[in-house]
Amino acid sequence: MKSFAFRIRLRDRLSDSDADRLYGGFDEEVAVEEGPKGHFVGFEREAESFLDAVLDAINQVIGLGFEPLAVEDELVSMADVAERSGRTRQSVSMLVSGQRGPGGFPRPAAGNVRSPLWHWADVVAWLESEAGGGVDFEDRLRTIASINGELANRVLAREHPQELKRIRQRLAG
């Protein structure tokens, strides 16, 4: 089993009792976050695959009465990138600065100048395509996009079923 970290964005604001329900509803520790970009539940979960970890968490979130809107990959530091990719911190620092490799390392998604943070899926995609990878990473970008498409379809089916029907008819291959 591997450990996977990710977060699920929820539809509605969370009251204190909602947060308590989330904290009490999972066997593992979760992080409940509120901010300008929405309301999230963060997970670090063991599973056979990233897909299994996310789908199990989504099912539990729905079972607790919350509407999941999207899955976001975790944010990682340079040290995290080094550990996960099997590189040294110095090697990652040089990739980030463009001193090593082809350049074009992904832009940080958060953090600050001294402690930038990247979406792990963005880093993985760059490592595989630009830096020669050398490590077999799971295709998290495609998995996240597929899950988010289905989560959007759940909302659309409920709120605008005719639009979803038209989309499916027009895009059917």
- Considering the domain architecture, whether residues 119 and 145 belong to the same structural domain is answered as no
- Considering the domain architecture, whether residues 79 and 67 belong to the same structural domain is answered as no
121 closest CA partner among 75, 172, 66? 75
- Considering the domain architecture, whether residues 122 and 165 belong to the same structural domain is answered as no
Q: What is the pTM of this model?
A: 0.75
Q: Tokens 């990739």 appear where?
A: 95
- Considering the domain architecture, whether residues 19 and 44 belong to the same structural domain is answered as yes
What's the structural domain count of the chain? 2
Contacts of 23 (CB under 8 A, 6+ apart): 30, 32
> Mean pLDDT for the chain?
89
Would you say 75 and 109 are in contact if contact means Cβ atoms under 8 Å apart? Answer: yes
Measured CA to CA, the distance from residue 89 to residue 91 in angstroms comes to 5
- Considering the domain architecture, whether residues 69 and 79 belong to the same structural domain is answered as no
- Considering the domain architecture, whether residues 30 and 61 belong to the same structural domain is answered as yes
pLDDT at 138: 62
Contacts of 148 (CB under 8 A, 6+ apart): 70, 71
- Considering the domain architecture, whether residues 68 and 113 belong to the same structural domain is answered as no
Q: In this structure, what CATH number is given to the domain that contains residue 163?
A: 3.30.70
**Beta bridge mates, 95:** none
Query: Residue 124 pLDDT > 90, yes or no?
Result: no
What is the domain range of residue 115?
75-129
Sheet holding 31-35, edge to edge: 31-35, 38-47, 2-10, 68-73
pLDDT digits (tens, 9 = 90+) for 110-120: 888 889 999 88
pLDDT classification of 40: cutoffs 50, 70, 90: very high
- Considering the domain architecture, whether residues 101 and 60 belong to the same structural domain is answered as no
Which residue has better confidence, 158 or 84? Answer: 158
- Considering the domain architecture, whether residues 68 and 144 belong to the same structural domain is answered as yes
81 closest CA partner among 72, 73, 66, 91? 91
- Considering the domain architecture, whether residues 39 and 123 belong to the same structural domain is answered as no
- Considering the domain architecture, whether residues 67 and 18 belong to the same structural domain is answered as yes
pLDDT digits (tens, 9 = 90+) for 45-56: 999 999 999 999
Neighbours of 27 (CB within 10 A): 7
- Considering the domain architecture, whether residues 65 and 109 belong to the same structural domain is answered as no
pLDDT digits (tens, 9 = 90+) for 1-19: 888 889 999 998 899 999 9
SS3 state of residue 39: strand
